[in-house]
A and B are shown apart, each in its own frame.
Chain A
């Protein structure tokens, strides 16, 4: 599956996107925090810091770590306060 980074997650990860393997949102968070230690302040297997949001395929925003993921999914991680 594919992960896109925007805002502070992108700033911390220093890349705009990455391919990972994960069957649930929680697994994706764990893989990401392992791969990008700079993200650990924001992401853990239990969930996200309130300043970060996750979106699935550009449609719904998701928070439940048990949310199932499939190979073609795109998870977008962004700064949650997307206003200015």
Chain B
């Protein structure tokens, strides 16, 4: 058997529980590695680009990687790949922890689900043996409670990925959750819900060989040591929430649905201030030495808070009360929805109320209670929540009256916490992103916050940096390694080649991995092209072209300039606009 791999994937039709192992060639594995890359390839090969995301025929892929199960820090991760019900384009979301280890332990490199169960079901995959059980008792239950109860019922060796009530009700940005972490973006939870699968429980102990175990252990030890250093200090000591004050200082903190780049109550939401009022402890994924998670105690519950949740449910909705933001984040987790899309869609609705386009006099910027109420309505698809459960793009299409101009989305995916006018390399990254506006597929913000470019005057030179960050993300998401390690590497592609060589025995080089990264980015685009992508989708909402940011006249972007950058991006990628 090929070291690092099982050489097959498990294809399960949840309509009747039939399962078959499908061989994977060494050539394909070397070309797409694992995680997002392998998942994208399997999505294409299983016809997933051309069927509706919520149809029974739509595949959803849980892809592991050759590094899963090795001692390499942060490598216990899995990717969920499908067509997105929110964007109708590719969606690849990642989550960490034991599900990856137990899933790969079932003796496969990926699990592909198709079909639709005739009732709400629990799918059990036990060392490759598959069966379905009723999940009726967990209808409407949060993913965390479901996970706990399934584990109690089946046994402690099982690892469970599940959906919350929002996934059951096909909220288009519902999450799949595992170990209180989430494959969060793009609505993979709705895809699982459309298959009537409440949860997947996996158990397995099959290990893959490593080509050079002694050297791999030594390299892993070295990487772990480096992961304790200054390059990851921000994640350990403050968490990603530290970004809030930094982005606010540079006028890049999206506020009140991108009406401003600064928030006058940002200091109150900083992790330093939150930590004064709410006791904070650290945690981390299985097999991770960084420990980036910062859990704040609110109402006797530990609430995980990341920057993206903090901005989306805080400044974007004009909410400056830390407790309100923490409770909103907790509620999103309980309901099972992506905090960025939830915050973006609620903030959009708040602006619609502000402009008199919809009637919901309680839904006002600055009201933490309104955010909580909106999350509950979205989770139940009740009242205005039914509209907001569709995401900001579909909501804007229904509301009309020009509201699409300020719906904060690209390709239907709500924009993360980086103001495009203040961070213009990121603006390009958002516009061309295969799954829509996304900070995990394009890390161009870090280029903007460096001496490589002028963040408010992107030039054609900025394009190659955007491509570099996109390629690196594609490879990290396929290996899979956490992006919080990126500052630890001095030559990422060389070190990644070493890891892959020691695990698989391949004579892989940095140059080959550059090519692999580009191949994976191109495969994602191929999904989108087959799904109906048009060049007009690679853009930003009209709002960003109409006016500079308040208080920062230099933070201005024109449609023509962005189109120049996009054309140069396509040229450097070797893609034709059509």
Where the two chains meet, the residues of A that have a C-beta atom closer than 8 Å to any C-beta of B are: 4, 6-8, 10-11, 41-42, 49-53, 55, 58-63, 76, 78-84
Q: Are A51 and B233 in contact (CB under 8 A)?
A: yes
Q: Taking the complex as formed, is B348 at the interface, i.e. its CB lies under 8 A from any CB of chain A? A: no
For A76, what are the chain B residues with a Cβ–Cβ distance below 8 Å?
249
Residues 234-251 of chain B, each 1 if its beta carbon lies under 8 Å from chain A, else 0 = 100110111101110111
Cross-chain contact A7 with B242 (CB below 8 angstroms): yes
Whether A50 contacts B487 by the Cβ 8 Å rule is yes
In the bound complex, CA of A24 to CA of B215 (Å): 46
Q: Kindly state the separation between the CA atoms of A7 and B242 in the bound complex, as whole angstroms.
A: 6
Q: Do B246 and A79 touch (CB < 8 A)?
A: yes
Q: Which 7 A-B pairs have the closest CB atoms?
A: A84-B240, A84-B307, A61-B451, A79-B234, A51-B230, A6-B246, A82-B246
- Chain A residues contacting B454 (CB-CB under 8 Å) are 59-60
Q: Which chain A residue shows the least CB distance to B417?
A: A84
Are A51 and B234 in contact (CB-based, < 8 A)?
yes
Would you call B321 an interface residue if the criterion is a C-beta within 8 Å of the partner chain's C-beta atoms? no
Q: Is the CB of A11 within 8 A of B237?
A: yes
Complex: chain B residue closest to A58, CB-CB: B250
Given the complex, which residues of A lie within 8 Å of B443, measured CB to CB?
A: 83
B449 partner, pick from A49, A59, A61, beta carbons under 8 A: A61
Given A61-B451, A84-B439; A8-B230 close (CB under 8 Å): yes
Interface string of B472-502 (1 = CB under 8 A from A): 0000000000001011000000000000000
Q: Are the C-beta atoms of B230 and A81 separated by less than 8 Å?
A: no
Given contacts A4-B249, A11-B238, A60-B454, contact A83 B230 (CB under 8 A): no
**In chain B, residues 400-430, which have Cβ atoms closer than 8 Å to a Cβ of chain A?**
418
> From residue B139, how far is it (CB to closest CB) to chain A in Å?
34
* With contact pairs A80-B449, A83-B443, A84-B307 given, residues A58 and B249 touching in the complex (Cβ less than 8 Å): yes
Closest B residue to A5 by CB, please name it: B245
> In the complex, A58→B21 CA distance in Å?
56
Assess whether A81 is in contact with B487, with CB atoms less than 8 Å apart: yes
A64 — nearest CB in chain B belongs to which residue? Answer: B451
Q: Are A80 and B242 in contact (CB under 8 A)?
A: no
> Is A82 a contact of B451 with CB atoms below 8 Å?
no
CB distance from A83 to the nearest CB of B (A): 5
* Chain A residues positioned under 8 Å from B451 (CB to CB): 53, 60-63
B576 is an interface residue with CB less than 8 A from chain A? no
Bound-state Cα–Cα, A49 to B237, Å: 17
Indicate whether B450 reaches chain A with its CB closer than 8 angstroms.
yes
Q: Which of A55, A58, A61, A79 contacts B242 (CB 8 A)?
A: A79
- Please name all residues of chain A whose beta carbon is closer than 8 Å to the beta carbon of B272 when the two chains form the complex: 10-11
With a CB–CB cut-off of 8 A, which chain A residues contact B246?
A: 6-7, 78-79, 82
Known contacts A6-B249, A50-B487, A76-B249; A61 and B450 CB within 8 A of each other: yes
